Structure 1
Amino acid sequence: MSAALGSVGMRRAAFGYSKSANCGLLTCLTQMHSPHLESVDGVIKYMAEDFIVHEIDLNGKVLEPGSSIGLDLIKATISQEHKRQSGIFLVLSRAQGYSIEYPEFLTKLDATRIEALLDKLTVATQLGTDSLVNAFALIVASDQTKEIRTRVHEFIRSKLPFLTSITRPIANVRQDEAMVEYMGPFVDLNALDANSKVIMVHPLTRCIRAIAQRAIEYNRAQLDQRNRLDQGDLRDERDLGEEQMAPTRATTPITLSEVPTLQELVQMADKTDRRGLKKGSYLHFNVTKFNRDTGDVIDLICKSTKRSALDMSTAGTKDKRARTVQRMCLRRGTIEAMFEAMASPKWFDDVEISNFEYKDERLRLGDLLGNFFSIVIRGVSNVKVAIERIERFQEHGFINYFGLQRFGSNAIGTHLVGAALIKREYREAIRLILGDLQLAANFNCFSPTMEIRNSHGLEEIPELTPENAKALLEQMPRHLYIERKLLYSLSRGDSYRVALSKLPASTLSMYVHATQSFLFNHATSKRIGMGLEPVIGDLVNVAPLNSRETQVDRLTSENVAKWTLENVMLPLPGDSIEYPPHLYDYYKHLSLEAFGIPLESFATRINGKDPSLVGIGGSYRFIATRPWGVSFRVSEGMHAPHVNTERCSRLRLEIQDKPSIVLECSLPKCSYLTVALREVLSDEAIEASTL
């Protein structure tokens, strides 16, 4: 460790040496109610299957994976639909005797001409698309009315979707030599008067491409078989039975009767209640993911459906190392487009989508009551004490800290980056994101013990000129999306502010929220130290039940006895925030001591300064809350399966044959289970699972 980093040891003592203490998680309610109970060691998230999270919607219903349609069936249906849309399905079916039923408004000669066009397409699956010169058909129809022509176009679109149709005046058609030659044998075409119209039908580009690919595959197979014959690997063709010969036309059997059409599959998946539905502009659905970040799934859906991230919304984000079920929403999304995305080779096999429903309203962040958890705590050091602590947790609840995930797992926490953004120090913010440990050491709350977590792989960060930024970009691992995006922008000569502005607004907000959360956690520990009963000056929310707005009231001697600790809120510093008088000075001191920021700087607009790059909106959060539906069971010697990761290999012998506890409970939205588990497990056990 450098001298600069070592010099912060004394300064950081005030913020604690562990990550939990550094980020303000200093105590727990069980410790205060039952100080004689020692904390318990155990392992959570040994495997992703050990941590299950299901959202609870606004109606109190726990989301389930639902009757998810298997990926194999979706892929088979989409493949069949592609063949239908490209014409390959019909062309190959005709080779087996399939015939089209033509409507009465098409004449026999119209049907003959369409069949001739389809014959050309069939031959082209072997000869290639060069044989498709003048591949079209002209339709007269039984009547020259517009109504009949409209019905012809509809028939082509629905029954022959790989063809396109256009109405043309016969006078224009007769000016084209190829058309005139085509019309020669047909009496009905030549008999049309000059004012008549015909419908020209020809293959779409997707049809021609599919046929070209089919021809390539067919001829490659023919060539391979001839080469094998030439090399003596096969008997002479004269000795082969007819069924063993290379086919002269495609004979791939079409046995897709078990595969539903895309329309049938959509009907199976659509759970929409259309009573009172207007446009249904938003497609809502459940996402079941395994060992994936919520952001990764959003990115997957956006790329697969070619949509912007602005079109996606979620009720909340979920842990990566877990099996989770959550609700998402896609603006102007369709079930068909989602099935297309899921059939893509790039789709994650560990992501399932179900319970599709069209709605008129967008899903908003926070549109949930909470989350249901089912977790396994392995290798419990003292089951008796663990059970006692779980019972205290059920009775008293827990301190509603922000979890360690809020502050990142790299050497430089997200709260330090947020502090630089709040100060409008954009150069500093970028260097901190890139992992400048020397710069981070200037913060009193920096914890150099986390240095080993720096994953950027950069020993030194030079001045970020365009040339240096380009060189650093070449060194930066590809999975570090934010860092690479910043370096790319700087390499093009953008200013620090402009480079940061090109990051998603949600990313910038994440950094600022981490700084606010750091102050909240420390202020909460300070307030809990004053006692577990409301005091005069505490803030409570007096807004109506289920209101999305917060209406703050300050407790007085007249009403303080009516409230409990769970009603007490503390602010996250920002615009238009009220502070409890007994903690205002602490907030001011803490902000200056930790980040060197005056509390007044937590504002989107400050006189004499440019507006902040990201909104610094303040908010309030309850300092304590309770779980519901708590249950548990002890499993003696639960088998610890072998998982091929460094962490699991290290822990396996430690937890093998030791008792495990399966714990289930539900928590309010925005509460962290890893924080709630501090009422049962030691900080070391929690940190080991989150860092």
Structure 2
Amino acid sequence: MLPSFSYLTEHAGFRGTIKNSPSDFVVTELEVPELFLRDTRAELLQRTSEAPPAQSSQCPREPKRRRTEPPGQGAPACPRDAAGGGCAATPGKSESEGDPELRAGLGEACPLESLLGKPVSELLNKFACDLKDTWGLENNADAGTREFSLGPRLDKKIRADLHSAVRQKFPFLVTVTRDNEMIVKGNPDYRELCQLVTEKETNDFFKFLDAKLENSTFSFEPDGNKEHRKVVHHFINRKFGKLLETKSFTVTDVNDQPNMSITVRFREKSWSRKRSAGGFQEKQDVYTAFTLQKENLETLEAIGLLAAELDILPSDFSYTGIKDKKAITLQPMIVKKVTPERLKEIGNKMEKKGMKIFNIRPAYQHLRLGQLKGNHFDIVVRDLQHHSHDSSADLKERISEAMKSVETKGFVNYYGPQRFGQGQIVQTDQIGLALLNEKMVKAVKLFFTPEDTDDPVNNAKRYFLQTEDAKGTLVMLPEFKVREKMLLRALNRYGVNHEGCTKAWLNIPHSLRIFYVHAYCSKIWNEAASYRLKTYGSKVVEGDLVCLEENGESISLNDKVHVVTASEESANKYSIYQVVLPMVGHSVKYPSNKVGQWYHERLSKDELELCKFRVSPLHLNIPGCYRLILKTVQNLSYFLESSEKEIKIEDNHLNDLKVSLHISFDLDPSCYATVCLREIMKCNF
């Protein structure tokens, strides 16, 4: 895995084996995102279904504009600090507010950064605020023509996610697609309604409109001006009459006086369901959350099996991270187009395939990679022994020493073996390098390189490499091999040449294409981290890069990263735990010491220049980011257990007994338990 890479700590360590069985390596996501209940690990294993509690986020209420103002006056300006729309209040009078299954998560702003990257997201924020500022100026002809490009987005799912995310965060913006390029501009309907009611009401109205929650309603603030109510009625009927209907009702205002208020609801025909031969057809925008426990299965393989059973696409599943294959793992997922009832029906079938489904309940939207808060690990290390050069030492003492050392100092934050395809002849970083070099045919051939086993999958891969018969290979592959089948369908249509292979890579989701490129970037990062520690050790030196934010998990902006000066080195201003290294890309800066020179030389060996981390034919854009060199472990605990239960583990017996080590700890997102164990035990797996 990391045979010659540097260690952080100096303790002697010990030997042992991990993953003897899946139950020896149990992984549970630490915190469930806001769309889910915050279950404990025990609850995840015990509960099978429960609806999430209502989530709410209180926003400061905007001062009300008097209803006596004539329509068209008093349009609110956009305060600079509110441009991002981050405080998304839910409609104050919506009847759906009490339904936690429907409202959970609506108070949270969509994570645009995960879709756009932080630099583009900040430019969008600036565009949004500047646009609102121009709306506050009279006779500004430019306000209606300003546009902001999010760039070309060929993947329909990504476009749909962006459309929804932009509308949820910025209700006053609309998105349009022109030749696959996504354009953001001001919503003239929002601006017009702002002339009639308060901006908060306008904001909430458009969020209600975008959510399209069945049987929900929205009410404007009480309004005693009949002529003004008439104008609002006419506006909504003129703009949204096919979708909405309005009516005035008597309500009690803030002074406990009777008043009139306009209530809006969706027309019944917009919610009618199509009849099918078997009864009512389920709506296509339903989301169901669940916890998946899998054993000895890759995450994508498990999703493939679930998709085949439910007769949906693998892309209809969303999750926050990839989990180990040789383990028991528990992680939240959300599936689109499947009801909780339908998911419960397949539970028994899935158990026969190494999966269990818990905590099934409705959800509001899908998950995104990287949303997780961290992972908890329960690991058993068996066959404990001394290292060959350390046979005279006391084994129990060595274990205690290792635990204290890593608990105090942490470990080198390498990417683990599953990032690269542990044990495979061709690893994912090799495919990523071929894609970066735009060697599309080579990347396909690497992808279909078989392992040295005689099974249907590897036999199919051998057949393809020998014959380039995509259609015949399709027939040989099992249904759950989703990525392989996606590639083969395109190769069958377009041919196994440069153009055909390019279209084949485009035929798989963007997240899978970029996965291979990120694997290559991770390999380079691992090598750089080892070189940095061998060259400078734990001292922060001139030219190092340090993170200026505390607890920075995903550092993407250059202004959050500082280059250490000579005077700062002399003053020991920074800690080694603040030092970061860049994940290669076109928008990162590199250390200005020997490590920076190492990056240039290493990339030149792979025929990659620093500005080449864009693969236009595959719509891949790799700006790069920064990763902390060192990480710490939390909540570390352990105990020793003898296979001979009746014998106590005494200091003078341990070396002669068959003993297992049980370790439990938490790690931050994107940290690898096998890497932490490598530091503890001082051995590679």
TM-score (norm 1): 0.54
Q: Look up the equivalent residue of 2:598 and give its one-letter code.
A: Y
Q: CA deviation at 1:57?
A: 0.9
Q: 1:366 aligns with which of 325, 349, 370?
A: 370
Q: Look up the equivalent residue of 1:351 and give its one-letter code.
A: M
Q: CA deviation at 1:370?
A: 1.2
Equivalent position SS for 1:456: helix
Q: CA deviation at 1:462?
A: 8.7
1:576 corresponds in structure 2 to 587
- Distance in 2 between the 1:453 and 1:377 partners? 31
1:632 aligns with 2:632: no
Q: Which has the higher strand share?
A: 2
1:456 aligns with 2:458: yes
Q: CA deviation at 1:307?
A: 3.5
Q: CA deviation at 1:55?
A: 1.0
2:221 corresponds in structure 1 to none
Distance 1:63 1:478, change over 3 A: same
Q: Look up the equivalent residue of 1:666 and give its one-letter code.
A: D
1:405 corresponds in structure 2 to 418
2:437 corresponds in structure 1 to 423
Q: 1:318 aligns with which of 317, 320, 323?
A: 323
Larger mean Cα displacement after TM superposition, 665-674 or 362-371 = 362-371
2:493 corresponds in structure 1 to 492
Equivalent position SS for 1:373: strand
Q: CA deviation at 1:66?
A: 4.4
- Distance in 2 between the 1:475 and 1:302 partners? 19
Equivalent position SS for 2:526: helix
Q: Look up the equivalent residue of 2:6 and give its one-letter code.
A: T
Q: 1:603 aligns with which of 608, 614, 617?
A: 614
- 1:405-436 deviation line (CA, Å, top 9, x unaligned): 11113211111110110011101111111229
- Distance in 2 between the 1:588 and 1:580 partners? 11
Contact 2:437 2:607 in 1 (8 A): no
2:562 corresponds in structure 1 to 553
1:45 corresponds in structure 2 to 19
Q: 1:67 aligns with which of 46, 49, 68?
A: 46
Aligned pairs (5 A) from 1:61-210: 62-64=40-42, 65-69=44-48
Aligned residues: 420
1:78 corresponds in structure 2 to none
Q: CA deviation at 1:349?
A: 6.0
2:668 corresponds in structure 1 to 668
Q: CA deviation at 1:566?
A: 1.9
1:589 aligns with 2:594: no
2:303 corresponds in structure 1 to 298
Q: CA deviation at 1:621?
A: 1.2
Larger mean Cα displacement after TM superposition, 562-571 or 334-343 = 334-343
Equivalent position SS for 1:599: coil
Q: CA deviation at 1:507?
A: 2.3
Q: 1:528 aligns with which of 522, 533, 545?
A: 533
Answer 1 or 2: higher relative contact order, Cα 8 Å, separation at least 6: 1
Distance 1:56 1:69, change over 3 A: closer
Contact 1:20 1:683 in 2 (8 A): no
- Distance in 1 between the 2:344 and 2:32 partners? 27
Larger mean Cα displacement after TM superposition, 297-306 or 658-667 = 297-306
Equivalent position SS for 2:385: coil
TM-score (norm 2): 0.55
Identical counterparts, % of pairs = 28
Q: CA deviation at 1:592?
A: 2.5
Aligned pairs (5 A) from 1:272-421: 282-331=287-336, 333-342=338-347, 345=349, 348=352, 350-360=354-364, 362-382=366-386, 383-384=395-396, 385-408=398-421, 409-421=423-435
Distance 1:313 1:478, change over 3 A: closer
Distance 1:417 1:399, change over 3 A: same
- Distance in 1 between the 2:633 and 2:16 partners? 20
Q: Give the RMSD, CA atoms, in angstroms.
A: 3.6
Q: CA deviation at 1:311?
A: 3.1
Q: CA deviation at 1:283?
A: 3.4
- Distance in 2 between the 1:680 and 1:545 partners? 23
- Distance in 2 between the 1:285 and 1:479 partners? 20
- Distance in 2 between the 1:309 and 1:393 partners? 39
1:20 aligns with 2:21: no
Contact 1:51 1:374 in 2 (8 A): yes
Q: CA deviation at 1:630?
A: 0.8
Q: Look up the equivalent residue of 1:569 and give its one-letter code.
A: V
Q: Look up the equivalent residue of 1:620 and give its one-letter code.
A: Y
- Distance in 2 between the 1:339 and 1:602 partners? 44
Contact 2:483 2:508 in 1 (8 A): yes
Contact 1:397 1:624 in 2 (8 A): yes
Contact 1:627 1:665 in 2 (8 A): yes
- 1:426-482 deviation line (CA, Å, top 9, x unaligned): 01111111229xxxxxxxxxxxxx98999835898898886x445666676777554
Contact 1:315 1:328 in 2 (8 A): yes
Q: Look up the equivalent residue of 1:587 and give its one-letter code.
A: Y
Equivalent position SS for 2:403: helix
Q: CA deviation at 1:204?
A: 9.6
Q: CA deviation at 1:581?
A: 1.5
Contact 1:52 1:324 in 2 (8 A): yes
Equivalent position SS for 1:20: coil
Distance 1:547 1:622, change over 3 A: closer
Equivalent position SS for 1:620: strand
Contact 1:54 1:371 in 2 (8 A): yes
- Distance in 1 between the 2:552 and 2:32 partners? 10
Larger mean Cα displacement after TM superposition, 377-386 or 398-407 = 377-386
